[in-house]
Structures are given as structure tokens and as C-alpha cells.
Structure 1
Amino acid sequence: MLNKELINKSIDFILQHLEDDISVDDVANHFYFSKFYFCRSFKAMTGESVYEFIKRMKLDQSAVEIKLEKEKPITNIGINYGYSSSNYSTAFQKHHNISPAKFRKSVDVTGMTSPFYPEGLSGFDTFEGYNSKIKMQELPDFFVIYERIIGNYIELKDNWFQFLDQYSDHIKVDTLMIERFYDDPAITSLNRCLCDICMTTDESCTLKNVTLVKGGKFAVYCFDGKIEDIFCTIQGIFSVWLPKSDYEMDGRCGLNIYREINKESGCVIMDICIPIR
């Protein structure tokens, strides 16, 4: 069986080529993997076949584009991910249980239900409210220890506490805790959310699970509150602020950089960082 680091590299390669006509053979050949052992190892680690993972990520990421780029024709978005106009609508409907056109209308909202508060609707702030708290910043690259999580978004807090306990010997005064998200939990199934939980470390670190998180230009929103309220704050920024701003997301992943974490109260101070151009 291939080890976790190699499977993570294959996931990175897939994510970098979602807009290409990428196949299982392409990934296996790129890394000189045996296709049989690669497919077997991938499913054992992720719970999905390579083909299922590629298809799901294409349909989930295309939905993110429909949500954020409200003026971009849906047909063009589907074509970017390798679908014809008719095939895309059918595949989207089957995966998301809604047509692309109806999905676009459904995300033009002023609030949404949070997985942490399923009994009620959490309202969004106004564009002006978000805009007043957002600053443009150039962030450096971060060399980090990381664990890749594919699972339930609601359990992310528990994953974090396990991660902090496991790597407690690497925590220093200036260590930053960083989340790197690859999808939108409001779109992706809660049990399939893909996220890296990270802590900054020295480049001399000899652990195998280290990587470089790319910096660059980000729109940074300072959040101060309960962990359970992070979800709707991020959704509001993406649903209200970003479409009305003069910025677009680029190909990098969004980052959550934690400045303070209080385990007892469940409150955090963090920077919600959206990669922009």
C-alpha cells in the first residue's frame, strides 16, 4: 500500500489539474505508481475511488465558481471542467440534487442554516459591515507541519485538539495554527470536507508531513468569537462581500490563521484570509 504522504501528493496533483481532462491513468503515470496499488491505496485512505474523487471535486469546485462568479455563463463553467453544456447540467443535477441555474439563484441569500445551529437561520452582515473589517495584506509563505483531514466539518475542532496534542513538542511562542481549505462546506458534503490543519515550523524540521503553504495577496477579515460562528462568517464574506468587491479569488486556497485559541470557552481570534487578485 502507498503511504499517506504519496497519496497526499496525488491529491495535490489532482487539485492542480481539475480544469484539465485528468484521468486515473494520468495521476498514476505522473508518479510512476502501479495503477492497481495506487487505486487500492487511494480508496483505503480517502474512502473514495480516484475516479469518484476527481468527479466530485470537479462538480464541487464548479459549484463554487457558479456561487462566486455570478456573471459568468454556467455553460462556460461546465466547459472549463471538461463537460459539454448538456452533460454538465445532468451531472450537476445528479450530484447536487439541483440544476446549476437553480443553484445559482439559491445562493443569492442574506443568511443560511449553519451545521452548528441547524434549528435556525444565521443572518449575514451587510457588504459595508464586512468591508469595514477587511484589509488587503501580503502574507509570506509558511513552512508547516500538517495533517490532511477528509471528513466531517463539524468534527474539525476535535481534529485540531488531537493535532495540537500530537505535535505539542513543536509549539513555540511564535507558532501559528493554520487551516487550508480546498472546498466550501456549504457545497461539499459535510462528511467529505477536505482541509489541512497546520502549524508553522522551522525548515529544519525532519518530519515527513511538512509542506509549504503559499502566501501572497489576501483579503483578511479578523474574527473574534465562538468556533461555531466561524462557518456563517465565512459564508457571509463569500456570499455578500466578495461578489460585490472589485476582487476575484485566484487559484490559491483560503487560509484561516489562528491568533488565539481558548479550549475552555471555545472562542478564537483568527484571520480569515481569502486569496485575491
Structure 2
Amino acid sequence: MIKNEVISRAIDYILTHIGEPIHVDEIAAYCHFSKHHLSRLFKAETGEGIYEFVKRLKIEQSAFRLKVEPDRSITKISGSYGYSSSNYSTAFKQHYDVSPVHFRRTILERSRTNPIFNNTLPDWESFADCQRKITIEQLPDYYVVYDRHKGSYKSLSEHWCEFLEKHKTYRTEETLLMECTYDDPVITDTDSCLYDLYMTVPEEAPLSPTCYLKGGKFAIYHFKGMVDQIYHGIQSLYNVWLPQSGHFLDERYGFEIYRKVDGDYMEIDICTPIK
């Protein structure tokens, strides 16, 4: 778990400004730390240097856009993360050892294997099947207490148990349990994924760290099934429904809302920000 709140704050800044040039001086000023002290703390907490972390996130989030926005040009996608065409191709190949063109050509086929459970997926759902499970809704802002982790999604269940035990005093019938998984594990190394666990709490609750999850317009895929089927549903949402829907991804980050958990059976609202 990322326990240092200053480092979590630094990551928040990076995530919010990922489409812009990001300098260590700016992050340090935002966190009210010297850049040298912040750099040492960041490396100790995350295992990565700040610049290394920023560069990786820019490339991996742009790679996700290459995957789910097949009609958007590589030039436009790379530009939205601050790269020129030539610089992007070089940085991308350094990270993935293939060109952006080759990556885009092969990523859908590679996404047919679940990297978390190492099982081959069935055919993705059709657009019509997805459409029946999706609603377009305006969601409010949510005030939450949260834990942030960097590692494998395989640890989610263990971390949820610890998180709920820690905050059980504030859990009521109206409480929502939510999470944000920032990375696609077929694109990001499975041990380097970033994810947050959230629980809605009253604003006056003496807890930390807390934040507001930004609401707005979302496409909500209402998943019902076993835990090892969630990845299949997410891939169907992004690779089948989204490109054909006429909607476009927003810059906000999505999240999942847990509606029911019964052993390995789950009902989850997968909330994808759109515009």
C-alpha cells in the first residue's frame, strides 16, 4: 500500500496532469516539499523515480487509448500526452519493444487472454448484448476515504478485507464500496498496476486520506457474474461497445461500484466516463 499521503498527493497531481508536460519542480511545489526530498520519498514508496513513473504512465495510458480508440490517429493520441510523432514512436518502442502501429495491430488479440487468471477468454459480447447491460447516467460526486495500492489486481480481495476492517465503524447500509483500477493489465505489467479502494463516508468523519470522486456523465456496464469473468466484461465494454457507441472517453477516471458480493459471485457497476 502507498501509505505516505504526500506521495499519494503527488500521484494525484500526476494523474490529473498526465496530458501535460510534468516537471518534478511542479509536483514538489504542489506537495510543499523540496524536489530532492520528494524524489527520495517517491522512490522509496513506489519503487520508481518520479520521472520514470510519469514517463511510464504517459506511454501506458496512451497505449490504452490506442487500443480502445481505433479510429483516432496515433498522432492525435500521442499529441494528447505531449509527444511529437517521432518522439512518441521512439519512447513507445523503448517501453514495449514494438512500434505503436504494431502494438495497435496486435493488442486486441492479446487481450483475449486474461492476464490476471491466465485463462483464455470466450468471444467478446456483441454490441447488442453489451447495450442491454449498459445505461447512460449522470452520477454525483462521492466523498470517500480511500487506500491506494501499487501491485497486482490479484491482491484486491486481501486488501479489501483489510480496508473494510479498518473502517468498519463508518460502514452503514447506505455506504457504497468502490474502486478505481487505473491500468489495463494486458498493457501494464501486472505487478505495477495502480488501484484505489474507496468507501463513501460523511464529510465530517475524522478520516484520512479522503477525496471527492468526480461525477458526471458515465456509461455504466451492470456486470453480474463470477470474479474471473469481470475482465471479459470490461474488454467487451471497451473493445466492442465503446468504438460502436458514438460515445468518446472523457479525461476523468472511471470507477467500479460494488452492488453485491457473495463469495466469487459479484454484481458491479463498471462506470466509464464519457463525453
Kindly state the Cα deviation for residue 195 of structure 1 after the two structures are TM-superposed: 1.1
Aligned equivalents of 2:224, 2:207: Cα separation in 1: 32
Question: Hey, what does 1:155 align to over in structure 2?
Answer: 155
Question: Which residue of structure 2 lines up, in the alignment, with residue 243 of structure 1?
Answer: 243
CA drift at 1:167: 1.5
Matched, 1:98 2:98: yes
Q: Which runs of 5+ in 1 are unaligned?
A: none
Normalised by the length of structure 1, the TM-score is 0.93
Which aligned pairs between 1:111-122 and structure 2 lie closer than 5 A? 112-122=112-122
Measure how far apart 1:148 and its partner are: 0.6
Q: In structure 2, do the counterparts of structure 1 residues 122 and 94 end up closer, same or farther at CA, with 3 Å as the change threshold? A: farther
Paired position in structure 1 for 2:274: 276
Counterpart in the other structure of 2:188: 188
Match of 1:107 in 2: 107
Identical counterparts, % of pairs: 42
Count of residue pairs brought into register by the alignment = 274
8 Å CA contact retained: 1:143, 1:211: yes
Cα distance in structure 2, aligned partners of 1:154 and 1:97: 26
- Aligned-residue RMSD, C-alpha: 1.8
Q: How many Å apart are 1:119 and its aligned residue? A: 4.2
| Kept after mapping to 1: 8 A contact 2:133/2:223 | no
| Paired position in structure 2 for 1:258 | 258
Equivalence map 1:108-257=2 (5 Å): 108-109=108-109, 112-257=112-257
Q: 1:20 to 1:233 in 2, by over 3 A?
A: same
Moved more, 197-206 or 69-78: 69-78
Give a deviation string over 1:4-30, Cα, whole Å, max 9, x none: 222111111111111211111221133
Per-residue CA deviations over 1:195-230 (Å, capped at 9, x if unaligned) read 110011101111121111111111111111111211
Q: Distance in 1 between matches of 2:169 and 2:214?
A: 24
Deviates more, 1:251-260 or 1:63-72: 63-72
Corresponding residue of 1:23: 23
For the Cα contact (< 8 Å) 1:130–1:237, is it kept in 2? Answer: yes
Structure 2 Cα separation of the partners of residues 101 and 165 of structure 1: 46
State the alpha-carbon separation in 2 of the partners of residues 27 and 21 from structure 1: 11
Of the structure 1 ranges 149-158 and 113-122, higher mean CA displacement relative to structure 2 is found in 113-122
The CA distance in 1 between the partners of 2:111 and 2:75, in whole Å, is 27
- Per the alignment, residue 84 of structure 2 pairs with 84
User: What secondary structure, in the 3-state scheme, does the structure 1 residue paired with 2:122 have?
Assistant: strand
1:172 deviation in Å?
Answer: 0.6
